[in-house]
Amino acid sequence: MKKRLPPTPTQQEVSLSDDEFIVSKTDGEGKITYINRVFMQTSGYTEAELLDQNHRMIRHPDMPHGLFQHMWNTLKNGNEFIGFVKNLCKNGGHYWVFAHVTPDHDAQGSFRGYYSVRRKPEKNAITTIAHLYDAMNQVEQNNGGRSAASASAQHMLEYIADKELSYDEFILQLDSH
């Protein structure tokens, strides 16, 4: 099977309306098993193009690897993750979301994968978080190799700790303005 190249990013931004929610489910490895229509409309991909693909196919190159390392560590520990994510559309555009990702279990309590609901973020939160992500990307460039994501995640957590907040408190504070 021929591997699909990611689209070239443009400056075109797509914005969710206040009442839209993007919903998806993945298996334990991040492979998409369910999407709603808002996901397809916003990303520009069809259901056939998204299902059975790894969710990282929509990851924008501006997103620091350290954030996703933090997300996966949080989820692997059985906790919910919240955060701001910039995603890449099929046409190269992008859209920002406030993401809430939770481990998904069946009625017997067995792990099935992850469930994610994303909504429109506060505009001023994106300004703040984009600056932090730029700094995290710089840390990744300066460190390179396998340690880059860890160094970036550490930078983020130290930045937040300097504000005397936990990660979740920081994110929720940004979202409330």
**For residue 90, pLDDT beyond 60:** yes
pLDDT at 1: 45
Q: Using the 8-state DSSP alphabet, how is residue 165 labeled?
A: -
State the pairing for strand pair 111-119/32-35: unpaired
Q: Which range has the worst mean pLDDT, 4-13, 24-33, 136-145?
A: 4-13
Percentage, residues of the chain above pLDDT 70: 97
Q: Which residues contact 37 (CB under 8 A, 6 or more apart)?
A: none
Band (5; pLDDT cuts 50, 70, 90) = low
Going through 27-158 in order, the beta strands assigned E by DSSP cover 32-35, 81-88, 94-105, 111-119
| Distance, CA of 35 to CA of 141 (rounded, Å) | 33
Q: Which is more confidently placed, 8 or 155?
A: 155
Q: Which residues contact 134 (CB under 8 A, 6 or more apart)?
A: none
pLDDT at 75: 94
Nearest to 49 by CA among 8, 13, 9, 90: 90
**For residue 2, pLDDT beyond 60:** no
To which residue do tokens 């992850």 refer?
114
Band (16; pLDDT cuts 50, 70, 90) = very high
CATH architecture for segment(s) 21-175: 2-Layer Sandwich (3.30)
Average pLDDT in the chain? 93
pLDDT at 144: 82
**For residue 31, pLDDT beyond 50:** yes
Residue-wise pLDDT for 51-67, tens only, equals 999 999 999 999 999 99
**For residue 11, pLDDT beyond 90:** no
**For residue 6, pLDDT beyond 80:** no
Q: Where are the domains of the chain?
A: 21-175
Decide: 104 and 113 in contact? Cβ < 8 Å. Answer: yes
For 78, phi and psi rounded to 5 degrees?
Answer: 85, 10
As a whole number of Å, the CA-based R_g of the chain is 16
pLDDT at 64: 97
Residue-wise pLDDT for 116-164, tens only, equals 999 999 989 999 999 999 999 999 999 988 899 999 999 999 999 999 9
pLDDT at 135: 97
| Distance, CA of 82 to CA of 167 (rounded, Å) | 9
